[in-house]
Structure 1
Amino acid sequence: MLLAFDLLDRQIVDRDGTPVGKVDDLELDGPRVTALLTGQQALGPRLGGWLGRWVTTSAARLDIDRRGPRRIPYDLVERIDSAVHLSVRVELLDPAPLERWLDEHAIGRIPGADDD
């Protein structure tokens, strides 16, 4: 399996088809995938450079209750196709604090951003 092609940036959905997030990084134990990592604290190191450091530190500062990225154990993965399907129902996660801040201060100010 080519991990970067087969897993990274895929949408994660629970057993009911509810979107949970995207695979931003992987947790490995040798050659074995142990968890899917999601959120800005997982994405930042993949971006690299000053942008990656800014994303990671901003997310860490805004999400003081969480140490590191959200972690989904790999044994909860049922199948992988155009999305990563979990075998359990996951309650819709609250948006990460950085996502809320960006929505309020950047994306929300774009004309037409609040239209459905």
Structure 2
Amino acid sequence: MTRRIIDARLHLLSRQVLDVDGEPVTTVEDLELRGADGGDVVAGEPAHVAAILSGPVLVTRILGGRPPQSRWERIAWSAVSHLGTVVELDVEASTLDVDWPERWLREHVVRRIPGGQHDPEGES
């Protein structure tokens, strides 16, 4: 396994996450870090990304604070296959709980918009 040092704010936070089929899943809102031994992170010691965290952060970004730990959805870092302009996963979105807001919006909002039930690029 090759190691790569990245700037989390520049290369990860707010990036779109795509599943193995290229479908949007979520965005990276925060990261879960672990120490080199798998325990808690100690200042000045090496750490690694254990999981991508996503969740309801809009209100907390506007009003301040952080969502409770129970509200975060986690995607194990081991599911990440490529890190580029987007974060690509090697699993399908349906195997993750994190894409429920995308599904809910698609089923309850977008579907009700005229033309929201078909792919405009698929038309000739």
- Is TM > 0.5 for Structure 1 vs Structure 2? yes
Q: Which residue of 1 aligns with 2:101?
A: 95
The letter of the residue matching 1:67 is S
Q: Of the candidates 2, 9, 19, which is equivalent to residue 4 of structure 1?
A: 9
CA RMSD of aligned residues (A): 3.2
Q: Which structure 1 residue ranges, 4+ long, deviate > 2 Å from structure 2?
A: none
Aligned residues: 92
Query: Using the alignment, how far apart are the partners of 2:52 and 2:92 within structure 1?
Result: 16
Q: Which residue of 1 aligns with 2:88?
A: 85
Q: Percent identity?
A: 33
Q: Of the candidates 74, 78, 81, which is equivalent to residue 75 of structure 1?
A: 78
Is the Cα–Cα contact under 8 Å of residues 51 and 75 in structure 2 kept in the other structure?
A: yes
Query: Using the alignment, how far apart are the partners of 1:78 and 1:28 within structure 2?
Result: 18
Matches within 5 A, 1:20-39: 20-30=25-35, 31-39=47-55
Structure number having the greater helix percentage: 1
Structure 2 residue runs without a partner (length 5+)? 1-5, 36-46, 117-124
Structure 1 residue runs without a partner (length 5+)? 61-65, 105-113
Q: Which residue of 2 aligns with 1:18?
A: 23
Q: TM-score, normalised by structure 2?
A: 0.60
Please state how far the C-alpha of 1:77 moved relative to its aligned partner: 0.2
